Structure 1
Amino acid sequence: MKNILFITILLSSINLNAQFSYSKAKVYFNDGSIKTGFGKTIFLNNEKIKFKVNKKDKAIEMGFMKIDKFILDGDEYDYKIIKGEKAIQFFKVKQRGKVSLYYSIKTNNSAPMGGMNMGGAGFSVGFSTSTEVYYIAKNDDDQIIKLFNLFGTSKRIFKKIIPLFFSDCPDLLDRIDSKEYRKRDIVEIVNFYNYKCK
């Protein structure tokens, strides 16, 4: 049990260090200017990042009012609005093209499990799991449509978006109908459409 507790604390420490560390960043501002420096995302609301030009500078929080998009540690992020919602958030770019694919990380925290150690002191251990939640848009539309997470069971949304985004590519539709491509292959589907469909 002590080993499990130690591993959990270690993983939590790694996650915290990753969240609070700065990486190389390039920020594209709404006025057309571009700045390079160091930044990190604020995971509480997916609305702002902290950015500074030099490592010793004081970081400034910025959001969609000033920023169009940004690149952090080689990953590209765009500010988008989920269709049917009002909040503007940043999403990581998975594929960009005639159809663009975005995703965010959803974390589910499990209830803590309690126990008693040999000294009589109580403790609790909680676990969390993460999955990628996908969103889709035509071209570079400001609005994106929420699809699903890869481990979800619903196929309704997947079947609904197929004619909306890929109806002009019969070859791709045939591959989906024959189940060569399934919901879990959404990245390959978008890639096929962008590069192999005329």
Structure 2
Amino acid sequence: MKKYFLILLLFIFSSYSYSQKGKAILILKDGTQINGIGEISGFSSIITVKFKNDTLKYKTYNSKEILGIDIFEKDYKRKFMYRNIEGEKFPRILELISVGDLSLYLRLYDEGSFIKAVFNGAVSQDADFWLSIPRISYFIGKGESNNVKNFYTRGLPFSKSFKNSVKDYFNDCPELIAKLENDGFSKNNVFEVVDFYNRNCYKSTSLAKEENKN
């Protein structure tokens, strides 16, 4: 029963759906920008970009045709770009959170999924509580590079902890690690971690790496 529960749990995670729609700008490979209505939807493993304007009905686009899409929420613009994730065969559409020496992205999952369960590993039809497990994956790339690497995933069973993820990825920045150990960062501070590294460590560590090559 416990094994079945774990398989069911992982299946639910892999089936998360996502949908984002609104006024948008489609960004083509040649840099052309087209105004219209955009939609990002699908399952966590297969996210599609659809777009329409005055000249066409909804058309689905992939990474061979476009760089990404900007979708507006009131006065706020959310930027989505196709990026190559280390270890994956095909580019994925990711949301760009910040641009810098190291840029931060997140992968799209539905945060509204709830799983009815009990902590002993058995599924109970009479369980009287809901366990909310939102899943978000963060990725880091250099500047505007098309290549990114997974940094930290939250909400996935048995995934690496936030603290260990920071220690592994930013082991060349002792100031950041010291701040982490003193509870200066939590799993809600992913943006702040990357920003701290960009401001305090990136240039010095990059220079050191170049000197070691020569």
Task: Give the TM-score normalised by the residue count of structure 2.
Answer: 0.64
Contact 1:135 1:146 in 2 (8 A): yes
Matched, 1:193 2:201: no
Instruction: State the 1:191 CA deviation.
Output: 2.0
- 2:87 maps to which residue? 84
- 160, 163, 170: which one aligns with 1:154: 160
Equivalenced residue count is 166
- 1:105 maps to which residue? 108
Inter-CA distance 114–151: structure 2 relative to 1 (3 Å threshold) = closer
Instruction: State the 1:151 CA deviation.
Output: 4.4
Instruction: State the 1:194 CA deviation.
Output: 3.3
Matched, 1:133 2:132: no
**SS where residue 190 of structure 1 aligns?**
helix
Which residue identity does 1:37 align to in structure 2? G
Contact 1:42 1:48 in 2 (8 A): yes
**SS where residue 185 of structure 2 aligns?**
coil
**SS where residue 26 of structure 1 aligns?**
strand
Could you report, residue by residue, the CA deviation over 1:161-185 in whole angstroms, capped at 9, with x for unpaired residues?
Answer: 013xxx3x55434323433224442
- 2:10 maps to which residue? none
Contact 1:137 1:144 in 2 (8 A): yes
RMSD of equivalent CA atoms: 3.2
Instruction: State the 1:132 CA deviation.
Output: 1.7
Matched, 1:63 2:62: yes
Inter-CA distance 31–130: structure 2 relative to 1 (3 Å threshold) = same
Instruction: State the 1:80 CA deviation.
Output: 0.8
Query: Superposition pairs for residues 1-198 of structure 1, below 5 Å?
Result: 19=19, 22-44=21-43, 45-54=45-54, 57-73=56-72, 74-107=77-110, 110=115, 129-151=133-155, 154-155=160-161, 156-163=164-171, 167=172, 171-195=175-199
Which residue identity does 1:53 align to in structure 2? N
Instruction: State the 1:146 CA deviation.
Output: 1.2
Inter-CA distance 154–127: structure 2 relative to 1 (3 Å threshold) = closer
Where structure 2 has 5 or more consecutive residues not aligned to the other structure, the ranges are: 1-16, 117-122, 204-214
Contact 1:93 1:101 in 2 (8 A): yes
Contact 2:133 2:155 in 1 (8 A): no
Contact 1:109 1:129 in 2 (8 A): yes
**SS where residue 57 of structure 2 aligns?**
coil
Could you report, residue by residue, the CA deviation over 1:55-96 in whole angstroms, capped at 9, with x for unpaired residues?
Answer: x94111111111112111221011111101112110011111
Contact 2:134 2:154 in 1 (8 A): no
